[in-house]
Amino acid sequence: MKRTILFCLLVLVPLLLVTQTTRVSVASDGTQAADNSYNPSISSDGRYVAFYSYDSYLVYDDTNGMPDIFVHDVRTGQTTRVS
């Protein structure tokens, strides 16, 4: 139980310091994903967010018809398929 509470505190405290909400399941041109995205993982500095999505329009060359893993760079707005 103590580990769970400690984990929650470590996760929640940085989130409380954020002053805005930013959608990251977007293409590099800002177009919102048309399909679901799951399991986000944020880098320690908050710059990169990795997630997987079934959306085939997040990057130009996504033609495999399968869910892929993407990384969105919050600073530059670029979304890259990494798998």
| pLDDT, tens only, 24-54 | 889 999 998 888 888 899 888 888 999 989 9
- Side by side, which strands form the sheet with 79-81? 37-42, 48-53, 68-73, 79-81
Residue with tokens 């320690």: 44
The answer to whether the predicted template modeling score (pTM) of the entire model surpasses 0.85 is no
> Does the structure show a pLDDT above 50 at 6?
no
> Closest Cα partner for 81 from 21, 31, 28?
28
pLDDT of residue 77: 92
pLDDT of amino acid 67: 92
- For residue 68, the cross-strand partners are 53
Higher pLDDT, 5 or 52: 52
Secondary structure E strands in 1-83: 37-42, 48-53, 68-73, 79-81
